[in-house]
Structure 1
Amino acid sequence: MYLGIDIGTSSVKAVVMNDDDRPIAAASVPLVLSLPRPLWCEQVPEDWWQAVVDSLDALAAKAPAAMEAVRSIGLSGQMLGVTLLDATDTAIRPALLWNDGRAAAECTDLHARFEAFADIVGCRAMPGFSAPKLLWLGRHEPDALARARRILLTKDYVRLRLTGDAVSDRADASATLLMETVRGDWHDGILAACGIDRTRLPRLVDSTTVSGTLRSPLARRWRMPAGTPVAGGGGDNMCAGVGVGAVQPGTAYISLGTSGVYFVANNRFVPAHRGGMHTHRHAVPGLFCQHAVVLSAGSALAWIAGLLGRDIGGLIAELDARELSPDTTPVFTPYLAGERTPHDNPLLTGTFSRLTHMTGPLHLVQAVLEGVAMAMADGHAALTGAGARIDRVFLTGGGARSALWTRLIAATIGRPLHLVADQRSGPAIGAARLARAAIGGPLIAPAANQASVAVIPVDARLAEQLDRKRSLFHGHLRVTAT
């Protein structure tokens, strides 16, 4: 057995997988976001750890035999975050997350300092990434940054608690924009520009190598073998790629989670110079990955459900049973937290337009699904316009359970979508596969069924309706002054 742990934005998921890549047991614990100011998004690192502990306690209680058979552990986590720890490894302040938009000015400063910034790291500096946020901390909270003895990504904070070792993998670390991506090592010039040095950063390993071993008291608590190896792992986007099978050049996936991710595996390093895209190292040795990201996908659906006082599952079931014509629904731009691809603008805001007396709650909800689908189509256009080869697209994430949403996305990008069997555990399964590879096993089991459970075709009529609507969608972008 192999254990994969994914520290996401909305929850921690832990999965025990067998040698045929079949999930045997799983547990999940929710997480909460803090939005203390406009553009800010934070979480308390201790909450990540407590959710991991609660998840593994649950697995040890309900599947003790599976936990006793675990031979290695893999870690996946939300990317780009900044966690500052003091000399006792206590968090100095809440972690700044991937969708935090406060550091726009610092992005401009990094580009002025490094003319070839994108060629070094893989993309332009954008507010959610680690490097500009560190520069922001140095300017606005200098005491906090000065006290920091370790600076870690989300999953690497959990690794520190699991093993006592401060380590990161080169895939997740490449997305901090602090690393020379092709060389696979920290870039001292960028570190200095951000006011730090490599002594405060973790040691780097590959995703498929052992980074440390589980502490003995934790192994006993969770009924796992003493000295269980912990693999390098990867960022959640890279681990999801491994989990769904996007491990060959030209394979891609779209994930409908808190954000919407369009990920393409590539055997070449193609730095992104525009369009809010980014290129990093894949967790698969020798591969890179190109990303387009819509910052508000599932979070936009959660937002409208909260405004309506309705349960998300109930709304989706009602819409799936009674699909409305896009000709009757409003236009929604899903920029509730700004947008990354293709606008690279943290100040974009969400809008509803084309409202009438006939507009009801379900019209608003479907408009949100359509808006996210059209934003994903913008990401598809940005990737293909940059020369990304896309042969096959998998679909995963919690939003993939909506039949309507899957049809909307297939229609907007003009490609059939291959729906994977487990839409919610892709990153955790990918982490478990990396754990197996770290101790000499195959990345993907030969017996594993890589076929999708369903293919969502392109509905030509729906595609035509949404194509007409996209001109209105693009015409209703709004930028706020603050």
Structure 2
Amino acid sequence: MYLGLDLGTSGIRALLVNESGMPIGEASASSDVSHPHPGWSEQDPAQWIAACEAAITELKANHGSELRAVRAIGLSGHMHGATLLDKDHKVLRPCMLWNDTRSAQEAQQLDSQDRFRTLTGNIVFPGFTAPKVDWVRVHEPDVFSQVAKILLPKDYLRLWLTGDCVSDMSDSAGTAWLDVDKRNWSGALLDACQLTEDQMPSLVEGSESSGGLRAELLSDWGIEGPVIVAGGGGDNAAAACGLGCLQAGDGFVSLGTSGVLLAATDTYAPAPEKAVHSFCHAIPNTWFQMGVTLAATDSLNWLAKICGSTPAELASALPEMPTGPSSATFLPYISGERTPHNDASPSGVFAGLSVGAEQADLTSAVMEGVAFSLKDCLNALRATGTNVTSLITTGGGTRSRFWLNTLANVLDVPLQVPAKGEFGAALGAARLGMAAVSDQALTEIMTKPEIAETIEPNTDLSDAYAARYEQFKSLYPAVKSATA
């Protein structure tokens, strides 16, 4: 048996799979996010431990015999968090999360140094770890002076599991301290932030062992042991492993809290000028390129809150098949944007509203706006030479048939919808655990899911969506100019 632990922003998911990779049990537990000031997003790392304990307790109660047979654990987690520890591994302050944008000024200052883009292959975004820690250096010098280790969220969970400070390449690539080509910490980039490699975790590939589960936990969880804990991966790299996106051109589009369009590559081909993320994959000698829109289902959640409704109720009011672009256009930058604008300032807007606009018009405009933002991501990846001809779909937003069909029409790419089953980051984490103790080839472990159907673009609507996309692209500079 193998266990995947996926640490998300809102909680943790534990997934048990057998030697064939089939899920046989799962459990989850929630965590809270704090927003003490505008632009701040924090969590107490103690919640991650408590959530993991709760999930394992549930698994033990419902699948005790299977849990007892676990041989390896893989980890997945939300990226870019800054978990600061003192010399005794005590947490010094709440973890600053991926969607914390307070360090925009520090990010700009670091990004102005050519060496960051040259060595990391990425813009230094405010959401990355390095500018967050630099913010602490400037604004909380007493905390900064005590920092002995800096861990990413899933790696703090690993510290509790194994007692070791270790990270993997994919997650570490999102810190802005990793030489992404050489897959190692960069002394020059750490020095630029007044840090040293001693303050970083050691590095392993995601499919390698990072240590063993502590004896105390083996006893508490009722596992015979020994149990290897694999390096694991950042959430999107782990999701790629769960979807079998390992080889050049393999890709997926995710409609989650944020929207992601990712394609694997077998070479390192950065394009920071396009605001494309170029990160190490969770498996050796592989990278991926990724475009990100910061508010995908979050945009629908926002609209539902404003309307006094729920996202599901809003989505259910729409037909399965769109007949063309919405009567309004929505710019989904309510939390700022990554690709292609690298703008931390919120600038969401509805355009083209009339007195006859109804709630359903706003809902379809929101879904369409997110699709157009993902079109920006697709174009940015293609501009780097990455060939994307079809995409596997994942994420909660894909439950809406209207949204899926709109996305296919806007991207003008066939979308492969997996059959009902498990194929996300938790499965990818379990597969990485399996790889750490198996002699099987990675491609045999990390297979693609069974595809239930392929959604083809409606070519009769191509011109209409292409014209609306041009209008969409014109909104951002107009809004920035009006609000400058």
Q: Following TM superposition, by how much is the alpha carbon of 1:23 offset from its aligned partner in structure 2, in angstroms?
A: 1.2
Q: For 2:438 and 2:422, locate their aligned partners in 1 and report how far apart those are by CA, in whole Å.
A: 27
1:365-404 map, 5 Å: 365-404=363-402
With 290-299 and 24-33 compared, the bigger mean Cα shift is at 24-33
With 463-472 and 160-169 compared, the bigger mean Cα shift is at 463-472
Q: For 1:325 and 1:137, locate their aligned partners in 2 and report how far apart those are by CA, in whole Å.
A: 50
Is residue 305 of structure 1 aligned with residue 304 of structure 2? yes
Q: For 2:422 and 2:449, locate their aligned partners in 1 and report how far apart those are by CA, in whole Å.
A: 16
Distance change in 2, residues 1:373/1:64 (3 Å): same
1:91-240 map, 5 Å: 91-113=91-113, 115-240=114-239
Which residue identity does 1:187 align to in structure 2? S
Q: 1:218-262, CA deviations, whole angstroms, 9 ceiling, x for partnerless residues? A: 223323233311000010111011111111111111111111111
Is residue 19 of structure 1 aligned with residue 24 of structure 2? no
Distance change in 2, residues 1:320/1:41 (3 Å): farther
Equivalent pair of 2:4/2:428 in contact (CA under 8 Å): yes
Q: For 2:316 and 2:20, locate their aligned partners in 1 and report how far apart those are by CA, in whole Å.
A: 33
Q: 1:101-146, CA deviations, whole angstroms, 9 ceiling, x for partnerless residues? A: 2222223322343x24222112121111111222221111111121
Q: For 1:277 and 1:338, locate their aligned partners in 2 and report how far apart those are by CA, in whole Å.
A: 15
Which residue identity does 2:25 align to in structure 1? A
Q: Following TM superposition, by how much is the alpha carbon of 1:453 offset from its aligned partner in structure 2, in angstroms?
A: 2.0
Equivalent pair of 1:34/1:42 in contact (CA under 8 Å): yes
| Matched residue, 1:9 | 9
Q: Which runs of 5+ in 2 are unaligned?
A: none
| Matched residue, 1:242 | 241
Distance change in 2, residues 1:45/1:54 (3 Å): same
SS at match of 1:290: strand
Equivalent pair of 1:10/1:258 in contact (CA under 8 Å): no
Which residue identity does 1:183 align to in structure 2? K
- State the superposition RMSD in angstroms: 2.0
With 123-132 and 212-221 compared, the bigger mean Cα shift is at 212-221
SS at match of 1:4: strand
Equivalent pair of 1:336/1:350 in contact (CA under 8 Å): yes
Equivalent pair of 1:173/1:179 in contact (CA under 8 Å): yes
Q: 1:130-183, CA deviations, whole angstroms, 9 ceiling, x for partnerless residues? A: 112222211111111212222100100110111111100122112211011122
Q: For 1:59 and 1:309, locate their aligned partners in 2 and report how far apart those are by CA, in whole Å.
A: 36
| Matched residue, 1:85 | 85
Equivalent pair of 1:433/1:444 in contact (CA under 8 Å): no
Distance change in 2, residues 1:31/1:333 (3 Å): farther
| Matched residue, 2:353 | 355
Which residue identity does 2:16 align to in structure 1? V
Q: For 2:325 and 2:101, locate their aligned partners in 1 and report how far apart those are by CA, in whole Å.
A: 34
Q: Following TM superposition, by how much is the alpha carbon of 1:448 offset from its aligned partner in structure 2, in angstroms?
A: 5.6
Equivalent pair of 2:207/2:231 in contact (CA under 8 Å): yes
Equivalent pair of 1:152/1:201 in contact (CA under 8 Å): yes
Q: For 2:305 and 2:82, locate their aligned partners in 1 and report how far apart those are by CA, in whole Å.
A: 29
SS at match of 1:476: helix
Equivalent pair of 2:13/2:29 in contact (CA under 8 Å): yes
Q: For 1:387 and 1:315, locate their aligned partners in 2 and report how far apart those are by CA, in whole Å.
A: 38
| Matched residue, 1:330 | 328
Which residue identity does 1:240 align to in structure 2? A
Equivalent pair of 1:397/1:424 in contact (CA under 8 Å): no
Equivalent pair of 2:431/2:446 in contact (CA under 8 Å): no
Is residue 456 of structure 1 aligned with residue 463 of structure 2? no
SS at match of 1:347: coil
Equivalent pair of 2:405/2:455 in contact (CA under 8 Å): yes
Is residue 412 of structure 1 aligned with residue 410 of structure 2? yes
Report sequence identity in percent: 37
Q: For 2:327 and 2:6, locate their aligned partners in 1 and report how far apart those are by CA, in whole Å.
A: 36
Q: 1:334-386, CA deviations, whole angstroms, 9 ceiling, x for partnerless residues? A: 11110000001111411112222222222222211111101000110111012
Equivalent pair of 2:280/2:286 in contact (CA under 8 Å): yes
Q: Following TM superposition, by how much is the alpha carbon of 1:469 offset from its aligned partner in structure 2, in angstroms?
A: 1.9
Is residue 31 of structure 1 aligned with residue 14 of structure 2? no
Q: For 1:447 and 1:211, locate their aligned partners in 2 and report how far apart those are by CA, in whole Å.
A: 20
| Superposition TM-score, scaled by structure 1 size | 0.94
SS at match of 2:317: helix
Distance change in 2, residues 1:469/1:137 (3 Å): same
Q: Following TM superposition, by how much is the alpha carbon of 1:446 offset from its aligned partner in structure 2, in angstroms?
A: 6.4
SS at match of 1:349: coil
Q: Following TM superposition, by how much is the alpha carbon of 1:6 offset from its aligned partner in structure 2, in angstroms?
A: 0.7
Q: For 2:194 and 2:446, locate their aligned partners in 1 and report how far apart those are by CA, in whole Å.
A: 49
Equivalent pair of 1:410/1:458 in contact (CA under 8 Å): yes
Q: Following TM superposition, by how much is the alpha carbon of 1:481 offset from its aligned partner in structure 2, in angstroms?
A: 6.0
Distance change in 2, residues 1:11/1:345 (3 Å): same
Equivalent pair of 1:397/1:423 in contact (CA under 8 Å): no
Q: Following TM superposition, by how much is the alpha carbon of 1:319 offset from its aligned partner in structure 2, in angstroms?
A: 2.1
Equivalent pair of 1:10/1:31 in contact (CA under 8 Å): yes
Q: Following TM superposition, by how much is the alpha carbon of 1:273 offset from its aligned partner in structure 2, in angstroms?
A: 2.6
Q: For 1:225 and 1:472, locate their aligned partners in 2 and report how far apart those are by CA, in whole Å.
A: 61
**What is the number of residues matched between the two proteins?**
480
1:309-324 map, 5 Å: 309-320=308-319
Equivalent pair of 2:259/2:295 in contact (CA under 8 Å): yes
SS at match of 1:280: strand
Q: Following TM superposition, by how much is the alpha carbon of 1:427 offset from its aligned partner in structure 2, in angstroms?
A: 0.7
| Superposition TM-score, scaled by structure 2 size | 0.94
Equivalent pair of 2:23/2:422 in contact (CA under 8 Å): no
SS at match of 2:182: coil
Q: 1:438-466, CA deviations, whole angstroms, 9 ceiling, x for partnerless residues? A: 01243354696643222111122343332
Distance change in 2, residues 1:198/1:423 (3 Å): farther
Is residue 271 of structure 1 aligned with residue 270 of structure 2? yes
Q: For 1:210 and 1:315, locate their aligned partners in 2 and report how far apart those are by CA, in whole Å.
A: 45
Q: For 2:337 and 2:35, locate their aligned partners in 1 and report how far apart those are by CA, in whole Å.
A: 17
Distance change in 2, residues 1:76/1:149 (3 Å): same
Distance change in 2, residues 1:329/1:245 (3 Å): same
With 239-248 and 133-142 compared, the bigger mean Cα shift is at 133-142
Q: Following TM superposition, by how much is the alpha carbon of 1:38 offset from its aligned partner in structure 2, in angstroms?
A: 2.4
Q: 1:398-442, CA deviations, whole angstroms, 9 ceiling, x for partnerless residues? A: 111111111111111110011123577511111111101101243
Equivalent pair of 1:320/1:402 in contact (CA under 8 Å): no
With 55-64 and 366-375 compared, the bigger mean Cα shift is at 55-64
Q: For 2:421 and 2:312, locate their aligned partners in 1 and report how far apart those are by CA, in whole Å.
A: 15
Equivalent pair of 1:259/1:293 in contact (CA under 8 Å): yes
